[in-house]
Structure 1
Amino acid sequence: MDSEITYLGKIIRVDSSTVEVEVSDDIPSAAPIINGRLYKIGQIGTFVKMPMGNITTYGIVSSVSNTPGKSDENIIGQIVGSRFLSVQLVGEKIGDDDFEKGIGTYPTINDEVHLVIEKDLFDIYGGKDAGSIEIGKHSSSDNLSVYVDIHKLILRHCAILGSTGSGKSNTTVSILRAILNDYDGSRVILIDPHGEYASAFPSAKVFRINAPSNPLYIPFWLMNFDELAFFLVGAKPTDDQRVEYRLLRELITTFKKENCKLKSGDVTQEFITADSPIPFSARKLWYEMNWWLNASFESTKKDEQKRETKYEINKGDYENLIGAEFTSHLTTANNQPPHVSQHKDFYSYEKKLLARLKDSRFNFMFHPGDYKDASSSKDLHNLLNEWIGSENKLAILDLSGVPFEVLDIAIGLITRFVYDSMYWGKYESYTGKNRPLLLAYEEAHTYLNKNDNNSYSKNAVERIFKEGRKFGVGALVISQRPSEISETILAQVGTLIALRLTNSGDQSIVKSSSPDNLNSLIDLLPSLRIGEAVIVGESIKIPSRIRVKLNNPRPTSEDPKLVECWSKKYEPSEENYKSVVTKIREQKI
């Protein structure tokens, strides 16, 4: 076989994961032409094969040198002029069986090593089947499509990582388009913090704050009590020993129990807790706090101060945030000492809640349209159907209008609600395990930061990564800073799609998180071209360097056309920037 044109040389060293190859001096050219195609010997990241009877072992070239990796200094002079390849072993093919990752039979000293040509690559990657999607073309062959196992890609979770401008958004569009085009029953929710992806998916259902059609509503009452307490009044679970915290829980539970007759079905009162996702009025909650703070009573004893013994002269209007009015605390009709309220527990909470309710940026949560209360025309089953049950297989939740300080809770709330629907509906024919779902998180490092210990979104997404597979929920994280993402999330990623990464810290995180021990491919990250990626993990037969096609229409994440813009002459005007300032003040795009 050493007479074949694909012959490279022989193995001179073997260890548990790599072999060293001495390239034969008899090879006529460093760039042989085989079947009309030029192949370069010793290219980093290219494949070689080691045939041993009916077993063929495959490896990836990780380094090239004119000296062996481990050698005696006394014999170096005898091997000057030789070429040596260090090869990482990746898998094997037995007879006509499919290629499999992992090594069962290791090559030995003096076994032959050959170039892998295009025909061999087709044998490794195979064709498209019912359980795969095309992710791109192999970097060494424009004719070779690379496919990934869709089941493992989604349910074992995946990540798209790359520096700014490396092609992350385009890669995301390619993967989602392949899923949506190939599978009629697919379901995807894309969390889009910057509103970039609507242009790339004209047929998607896009939910956006204040949009005339498909406005995004996230009812505040979907939150559990810990989330509600933090969002409404800034309280944390560590405040559970404070009187006002316990009273707040009791009030919320009471209001929820009053609304047990719901469009999705009546709920038994004794099963309702402060965590139950049941509508109630945050304005009524404020009104109740305000009432007890300002009320006048016949008695000065706190335990005798009841609604029946109040001095109320105006009931107020909780919908318009007008509190009740009482007789003066300074005097009474008989000039007796004032009958003041002893209920000051809600003093700080009432002020914070009122400020939150008056902030128009939170209207998408406090005024959720048809999801306002128990008497509204829609309930949570309608919201779920719009997000994951409509004929549009992709729902884009455009969070560009969500205030930054509530972005964490909004994403955590969306994630937990969708996860709960999959968990409790796991045996239904139309959802759960019988119709899996992909949740994609763009700009993941901004809200899934490993250093944020009080992140509601991180806790919810970590739960998806740890348990979602069992209930049909897969996750995709997209980020330019993998070093900032939760380690728990990265540890559960089954497939890594890494584009160009120039930061050494990000590279080391990808290297340590890679499901396959192929440092030679990960070391290529700084030198990858735009739109080129290294993909490793469970969903692909063999770790590969691929090129992702350029998609049109594209997300609105491309760079501005600087030269074209700066070549124009702009006329100054005092009217300029008025609309910009208004948008800043109203927080509207």
Structure 2
Amino acid sequence: MNNTDYIVGAVKEIQGTSVIVRMFDDADQLSYFINGKRYSGVLIGSYIGIRRGQYLIIGLIEKESAIDNLNDIENRTFSKKRFIREFTLKIVGAFHHKKYIQGMVAFPQIFNDVVLLSDEQINVIIAGGKAENKEKSYDYLKLGKIWPIGIDYYTYWPNLFNTHIAIFGNTGSGKSNTLTKLYTSLFDLENNKKIDFGNSKFCFLDFNGEYTSNEVLSRKKDVLHFSTRKSIDDINEQNKFHVPYKIFWDKDLLTTIFGATEQTQQPFLSRVINFYFRKNNTFVNNLSNYIKKAFQEVYSSEANLDSLNLLKEILIDLDISYDWVSNWIRNSLVNKTTGKFYSYKALANWNPNNQKNQWFWNIDLINLDIEVDEVKKNIDLWEFIVGFPSKLNNPITQLQIATKLQMIHDLSSHTIQYDHLSPLLHRIEARSKDLNKVIFVESSDHSNSNTDRDIQVISLKNVNKDIKMLLPLLVAKVTYSEQKTSNGNHSKIFNLVIDEAHNILSDRSSIESEKWKDYRLDVFEEIIKEGRKFGYYLTIASQRPGDISATIVSQVHNYFIHRLVNDNDLKMLQNTLSSLDSVTRSTIPNLSPGQAIITGVSFEQPVVVQIDELDDSRKPNSSNTDLLSIWKIEK
């Protein structure tokens, strides 16, 4: 026996890549120390070696059996000597001249010696042949200890953070600790000046305010606390998410945000965008002309009370007095029988009816042109003396006004029915109140970031359900678009980290329209499919992977899987994770808190790791309430 080997058994049977080995009686310890080195014992889920000539073939232990020597079912006596232990192995690689090679390199033979492996050898196997001193190298991050053998586990971060990552696990399984441990370890390298992120960015979407504390993740982070509970006057521009002009005026995005129906409302909204917002910053400059045109359309056709009310609402939105523009507006009434405007007050160029003490507007284009010119002059004078309100600088307010202007035009030309479009107008007005509290639309096609720091946490704890659905979509769309256009030389990466990802990546939601769900999933599925080309990566964490789009889960590169017990979640993983064998997969429902199966393209072998627990000050705020401490009786 070689002084660096410890023979514990021999090969009994070979079935392709599956090998059955018979163990010696004394091979029953958890670990051994030989010549000052620690060797792992023979355990389910651990590795063992098979000596054949110049090869040390490596097998992963999958099954343990007890073989009855007597083979007599009538004899019911039990003794240790009666049974022989056998293990079933799966061949995963081999050492050849001390170099580890992944895969089928050599087959064992019956009676080949089975030997224990040292901690150093197991580390090389898990690392796929890399034998660096991981403890001293900053290229590796220590995440925990390999279970069940207890060896320190290091991951090679240059091959991890340029991939899509998924962290799954039920509540209390350690999912949030793993997410935080992973990124805290990376950020510590930058804080300790071991690495420099340069222009790379990390953005955390935090639904529950778990990562906002000063010590969590990194002290060198900016936290944006978005809120729909505050008054709009209490929220400044820097506490909003900045959206480039071109992205906001994307018709697909706006029709989705405001729930425009396909047949009538979507074409209408497209007309609004194409006419009023083809070019940046032209709407306000042309507003007096738009109002002049709207006034002309109201009074150049059959009297329509809806058109008149829309014109009044536009002036109210602009804080302009009706009488300043034209006394026609305040005094106009509609005779539903004749379809004409009338007034109880004398109005210039209106025809009097002395018997009823009324004045009627019989459409006279010459007189109308005179009044229209006065309207234009009055609005221009108002803008010069008083000025339009500052809220008009907000494109969302501009959209509200433009929608009313377009409705007046379409009503005058009889191309729409007011009842078909009024729900859209009401939705725009209702949702705009919340949108104005959380987004700021830039005047250019580039987003001026809220922060120059590498790490940003966006807290959605204090926003309502609609904004929790919308804002992550906007963040992803804006940051992905910026990364695509600015990273042609591959000089930076962008990592978008989404905790509680089932909130926005679900394909089973019943509280939203199909169009909204399709658009939302299209954005994130494009990122997961194409983001790697532009240095844009997702990290998603969820307690319900079965609810997440199968396309997204299947395109993830690396997985950290904590305890999951729901059948839908387990079936999702079975259908999407080809790197997990049946034995490893069967352990998922039985993992202890903090244990995770790590697998994916950056890892040579699936491995179960007990993730190190962070210090209390660095943990995310996701722990359970301690009832004993809050219900105890003070004595």
2:41 maps to 1:65 = no
Alignment of 1:36-435 (within 5 A): 41-67=41-67, 81-97=83-99, 99-124=100-125, 125=127, 126=131, 127-128=133-134, 129=137, 131-140=139-148, 142=150, 144-182=151-189, 183-185=195-197, 186-199=200-213, 200-201=216-217, 202-210=219-227, 215-217=239-241, 219=243, 222-223=247-248, 224-232=250-258, 234-236=259-261, 239=262, 241-242=263-264, 244-259=265-280, 296-300=298-302, 316-319=315-318, 325=329, 327-330=332-335, 331-332=341-342, 333-334=350-351, 341=412, 343=414, 344-345=416-417, 347-358=419-430, 362-364=434-436, 368=439, 371-372=440-441, 374=443, 379=444, 381-383=446-448, 385-386=449-450, 390=452, 392-428=453-489, 433-435=490-492
Query: Could you say if the C-alpha distance between residues 322 and 527 of structure 1 is closer, same or farther in structure 2, counting changes exceeding 3 Å?
Result: farther
Specify every segment of 5 or more residues in structure 1 that has no aligned partner in the other structure, as ranges: 262-279, 570-589
Matched AA of 2:84: S
2:551 and 2:433 mapped to 1: Cα distance?
32
Q: Of 529, 534, 538, which aligns to 1:475?
A: 538
1:6 and 1:245 mapped to 2: Cα distance?
74
Deviation at 1:74, TM superposition (A): 11
Deviation at 1:561, TM superposition (A): 1.5
Matched AA of 1:449: S
Deviation at 1:24, TM superposition (A): 2.8
Matched AA of 1:407: K
Query: Could you say if the C-alpha distance between residues 225 and 58 of structure 1 is closer, same or farther in structure 2, counting changes exceeding 3 Å?
Result: same
2:606 maps to 1:543 = yes
Query: Could you say if the C-alpha distance between residues 109 and 505 of structure 1 is closer, same or farther in structure 2, counting changes exceeding 3 Å?
Result: farther
Query: Could you say if the C-alpha distance between residues 345 and 132 of structure 1 is closer, same or farther in structure 2, counting changes exceeding 3 Å?
Result: farther
Matched AA of 2:270: R
2:485 and 2:244 mapped to 1: Cα distance?
21
Deviation at 1:469, TM superposition (A): 0.9
2:493 and 2:62 mapped to 1: Cα distance?
38
Matched AA of 1:205: D
- CA deviation profile, 1:120-153 (whole Å, cap 9, x unmatched): 22443433356543332223455x4322233432
| Contact 2:20-2:89 within 8 A present in 1 as well | yes
1:321 and 1:497 mapped to 2: Cα distance?
59
- What is the TM-score with the length of structure 1 in the denominator? 0.76
Query: Could you say if the C-alpha distance between residues 510 and 51 of structure 1 is closer, same or farther in structure 2, counting changes exceeding 3 Å?
Result: farther
Deviation at 1:100, TM superposition (A): 4.3
1:215 and 1:109 mapped to 2: Cα distance?
70
| Contact 2:30-2:43 within 8 A present in 1 as well | no
SS of 1:66's equivalent in the other structure is strand
Moved more, 518-527 or 127-136: 127-136
Match of 2:503 in 1: 446
Matched AA of 2:302: T
Q: Point out the structure with max Rg over C-alpha.
A: 2
1:313 and 1:96 mapped to 2: Cα distance?
85
SS of 2:538's equivalent in the other structure is strand
Query: Could you say if the C-alpha distance between residues 119 and 168 of structure 1 is closer, same or farther in structure 2, counting changes exceeding 3 Å?
Result: same
Match of 1:575 in 2: none
Tell me the C-alpha RMSD between the 2 structures.
4.1
| Contact 1:439-1:476 within 8 A present in 2 as well | yes
Deviation at 1:472, TM superposition (A): 0.7
| Contact 1:164-1:480 within 8 A present in 2 as well | yes
**Aligned pairs, how many?**
515
1:295 and 1:175 mapped to 2: Cα distance?
62
Deviation at 1:168, TM superposition (A): 0.7
| Contact 1:515-1:537 within 8 A present in 2 as well | no
2:543 and 2:423 mapped to 1: Cα distance?
40
Deviation at 1:216, TM superposition (A): 3.2
| Contact 1:195-1:398 within 8 A present in 2 as well | yes
- CA deviation profile, 1:362-404 (whole Å, cap 9, x unmatched): 1446x74xx4563xxxx56453x336xx2x2211121223321
2:74 and 2:481 mapped to 1: Cα distance?
65
1:173 and 1:33 mapped to 2: Cα distance?
34
Query: Could you say if the C-alpha distance between residues 481 and 91 of structure 1 is closer, same or farther in structure 2, counting changes exceeding 3 Å?
Result: farther
SS of 1:447's equivalent in the other structure is helix
2:312 and 2:584 mapped to 1: Cα distance?
77
2:560 and 2:29 mapped to 1: Cα distance?
31
| Contact 1:134-1:147 within 8 A present in 2 as well | yes
Query: Could you say if the C-alpha distance between residues 320 and 191 of structure 1 is closer, same or farther in structure 2, counting changes exceeding 3 Å?
Result: farther
1:74 and 1:87 mapped to 2: Cα distance?
27
- CA deviation profile, 1:453-502 (whole Å, cap 9, x unmatched): 64233222211111111111121110111111111111112211111222
Deviation at 1:245, TM superposition (A): 2.8
| Contact 2:244-2:445 within 8 A present in 1 as well | no
Deviation at 1:3, TM superposition (A): 9.3
| Contact 1:49-1:59 within 8 A present in 2 as well | yes
- What is the TM-score with the length of structure 2 in the denominator? 0.71
Query: Could you say if the C-alpha distance between residues 503 and 17 of structure 1 is closer, same or farther in structure 2, counting changes exceeding 3 Å?
Result: farther
2:590 maps to 1:527 = yes
| Contact 1:66-1:83 within 8 A present in 2 as well | yes
| Contact 2:202-2:454 within 8 A present in 1 as well | yes
- CA deviation profile, 1:342-365 (whole Å, cap 9, x unmatched): 554454434443454345761446
SS of 2:167's equivalent in the other structure is strand
Query: Could you say if the C-alpha distance between residues 502 and 40 of structure 1 is closer, same or farther in structure 2, counting changes exceeding 3 Å?
Result: farther
Deviation at 1:197, TM superposition (A): 1.0
- CA deviation profile, 1:290-331 (whole Å, cap 9, x unmatched): x969963233399xxxx9x99989971434699994622224
Query: Could you say if the C-alpha distance between residues 520 and 314 of structure 1 is closer, same or farther in structure 2, counting changes exceeding 3 Å?
Result: closer
Query: Could you say if the C-alpha distance between residues 150 and 295 of structure 1 is closer, same or farther in structure 2, counting changes exceeding 3 Å?
Result: same
Alignment of 1:511-522 (within 5 A): 511-522=574-585
Moved more, 193-202 or 332-341: 332-341
Query: Could you say if the C-alpha distance between residues 74 and 467 of structure 1 is closer, same or farther in structure 2, counting changes exceeding 3 Å?
Result: farther
| Contact 2:168-2:541 within 8 A present in 1 as well | yes
Deviation at 1:527, TM superposition (A): 2.4
Query: Could you say if the C-alpha distance between residues 133 and 32 of structure 1 is closer, same or farther in structure 2, counting changes exceeding 3 Å?
Result: closer
